[in-house]
Structure 1
Amino acid sequence: MLYHLTLTTILLLLSVASHAEGIKLTPGKWQIEVTSSMSMMPQPIIKKLEECITADQLSPAELMKDTGSCKVSDINSSGNKLSWKMICKHHGGEMAGSGQFTSQGSQMNGQMEMAMDLSGQKLTILNKWSGKRMGPCN
C-alpha cells in the first residue's frame, strides 16, 4: 500500500504542479526504486518496480480517484523541485507528513516522511525513491 500511495502522490503532485515550467515527467516505462524505513522495523524494505506512466495518469481527475482519505496541501514548486504536506486518515487514526520531489524529465528522486501515534508510540515512515525512464511503454 505504501508503494501505491507513494506513486499516486508523486503523479498527483506532478499533475497539480504541471503549470510549473521546471517540473516535468516524461510518460513512458519507468524503473523506480522505493526504500521504506519504519521506526519500528530494524531493516528498510527496498522495492524495485517498473511502471508504465501514461499521459492520462498525469490527469488530476484520474489521480484523485486513488488518493482515498489523503489530503495534500502546501504544494510549492521552484524550478525542477516540488514540496508538499499531506494528511491521511485511516481507521480512526491520522498520519501527517511532508515530502519533496525533483525531476529532470527522464529521471526523478525524492522522499516523503509520514508520522502517526500508534497506541502511544510514534510510528515514522520514510519513503525515498529514485527512478529513471527506460523508454516507451510496451
Structure 2
Amino acid sequence: MTPNRIAIFTAATALLVAGGSAQAETIRVEPGKWQVESTSSNPFTGPQTFSSTQCIREESFDPTEEMAKSAECHLLSHEVSGNAMTWTMSCQMEQMTMQAEGRFESRGASASGRMTMSADMGGHPFTMEVTWSGTRIGPCD
C-alpha cells in the first residue's frame, strides 16, 4: 500500500463518522446539515485536513458500521457509554496489518472524535492519528 493510499484510507475512515445509520448501540445526534473537519497525521504525508458538509437525516448513528462492512477490517470491540462510543478494530490489507482504536462523542449539535492506528507495512511500523469534529450548521437543503 502506497503512502498516498494510506492517507486516502485514513481520511475516508475518519469521514465515515458523518454517515448516519441507526443500530442497537448508537450515538444520538441532531439531524441536519453538518460541517465535518478531519485531520490525519502520518509519517508519510504529515498532517492533512479535510472538510465536508453532509446531511445527517437519522437521529442516531454508529460510526463503526461502515468500517465493519469492509472485507479488510474486523471490529474487535464496540461500546457505548452515555454520549460516547469507543471501538477497536483490526485490518489486514495488501501489504499492511493495522490495529485501530477510536472514540466518538456527541453533544447533540456538535461532535468530536479521534482514531489512532498502528500499522506495519512490510516490516516498517508506524502510527497514524485522525481527529475530527463536526457541528450542525442548519437544516438539510
Normalising to structure 1: TM-score of the pair?
0.78
8 Å contact from structure 1 (residues 113, 125) kept in 2: yes
Q: Secondary structure at the match of 1:55?
A: coil
Tell me which residue corresponds to 2:85: 82
Task: Give the 3-state SS of the residue equivalent to 1:26 in structure 2.
Answer: coil
Other-structure match for 1:137: 140
User: Residues 12 and 48 from structure 1, CA distance in 2 versus in 1: closer, same or farther, beyond 3 angstroms?
Assistant: closer
For 2:72 and 2:61, the matched residues in 1 are separated by 19
1:73 alignment counterpart: 76
Equivalent position to 1:46, from 49, 54, 76: 49
Aligned residue pair count: 132
Q: 1:5 to 1:65 in 2, by over 3 A?
A: same
The alpha carbon displacement at 1:12 in A equals 7.2
The root-mean-square deviation of aligned C-alpha atoms, in Å, is: 3.0
The residue type equivalent to 1:40 in the other structure is F
Structure 2 residues without counterparts, runs of 5 or longer: 1-8
Q: Is the 8 A contact 1:26 1:133 kept in 2?
A: yes
Change (3 A) 1:88 1:12: farther
Change in 2 beyond 3 A, CA 1:137/1:68: farther
Quote how far apart the aligned CAs of 1:94 are.
Answer: 1.8
Q: Percent identity?
A: 32
TM-score of the pair, normalised by structure 2: 0.77
**Mapping of 1:21-40 within 5 angstroms?**
23-40=27-44
> Where does residue 97 of structure 1 map in the other structure?
100
